[in-house]
Amino acid sequence: MAIPSGDLELKSTKGLALGLDPLRPFTGSHVSLPELPLLLPFETPLILYKYVDWMSKLWKVSTIGPTLPSMYLDKRIENNKDYSINIYEPKTSACMSWLNDKPIGLVIYVAFGSVANPVPEQMEELAWGLKRINCYFLWVMSDSMKTKLPNKFIEEKSDQGLILSWCPQLEVLAHESIGCFVSHCGFNYGLEAMSFEVLMVAMPHWVD
């Protein structure tokens, strides 16, 4: 059993032309802070500069990051191993126990975050692809996403795969059994994968 070397046939898809139509501004995705200058839609690329400029008028600030917990980088802060926040409760014990029994570099980790929502056709193709390449896989998905899986897939995956609602992602990516990360390529996910030098398969969604 081994991670495929790139000789898989991919389903042909139609090309998508980008940049032909003006982008519509996002709505309902901002917060209001006292004295913070509002940004117009065309100013979005300058958002970091605008925020830092505003903050510098109130406090002495330095831009840093993005960063990972210290124990995965310089190890200067003892026991700093996570972000101290989880959207859902991670199934840490079940996840790490399962990974500890797997060979080095032979587990595919699949996660699309808490916002990306693949359509049923994507879920079905990915599910059967994972099963047929005969590799171990750890797949994080919500209960609503499970309804998009092929019939009997969960029962048929046997010991080949583990499906969880949430997991301690930093611990997972740092684990020696992980050989590949299938992801929507959100900014944090990409940063973490590169930090741990884990190969990635990109499936962008929404604004990724």
Residue 174 structure tokens? 């740092």
Q: Is residue 11 part of a domain?
A: no
Instruction: Indicate whether 54 and 152 sit together in one domain.
Output: no
Q: Are residue 139 and residue 156 in the same domain, yes or no?
A: yes
- Determine if the pTM surpasses 0.85: no
Whether residues 58 and 105 share a domain: the answer is: no
| Number of domains making up the chain | 2
Residues 159 and 196 in one domain: yes
The predicted pLDDT at position 170 comes to 94
Q: Is 12 among the domain residues?
A: no
The DSSP element (H or E) to which 202 belongs, if any, is strand 200-202
Of 67, 63, 44, whose CA–CA distance to 53 is shortest?
63
Q: Residue 108: in which H helix or E strand, if any?
A: strand 107-111
- Share above pLDDT 70 across residues of the chain, in percent, rounded to a whole number: 71
Query: In CATH, what number is assigned to the domain containing residue 159?
Result: 3.40.50.2000
49 part of a folded domain: yes
157 shares a domain with 74: no
What pLDDT is attached to residue 63? 63
State the average pLDDT over residues 35-43. 55
113 located within any domain: yes
Note the pLDDT of residue 85. 74
Confidence of residue 207 (pLDDT cuts 50, 70, 90): low
Question: Which pair of tokens denotes residue 196?
Answer: 């741990």
Regarding whether 60 and 149 lie in a shared domain, the answer is: no
Residues 96 and 154 in one domain: yes
What pLDDT, in 10s, does the model give residues 173-199?
A: 999 999 999 999 888 898 899 889 999
In a domain, 131, yes or no: yes
- Whether residue 95 is contained in a domain is answered as yes
**Residue span of the structural domain in which 118 resides:** 89-202
**Do 112 and 141 share a domain, yes or no?**
yes
Q: Is residue 151 part of a domain?
A: yes
Burial class from Cβ neighbours inside 10 Å (0-12, 13-18, 19+) for residue 81 reads middle
Same domain? For 198 and 134 the reply is: yes
| Same-domain pairing of 49 and 126 | no
User: What phi and psi values does residue 153 have, to the nearest 5 degrees?
Assistant: -60, -45
Q: How far apart are CA 156 and CA 150, in angstroms?
A: 10
The verdict on 165 and 66 lying in the same domain is no
* Residue 205 pLDDT grade (very low, low, confident, very high; cuts 50, 70, 90): confident
- 120 in any annotated domain: yes
d(CA 44, CA 38): 10
Q: How confident is the model at residue 112 (pLDDT cuts 50, 70, 90)?
A: very high
Instruction: Identify whether residues 59 and 135 lie together within a single domain.
Output: no
Q: Residue 102 pLDDT more than 90?
A: yes
pLDDT confidence of residue 35: 57
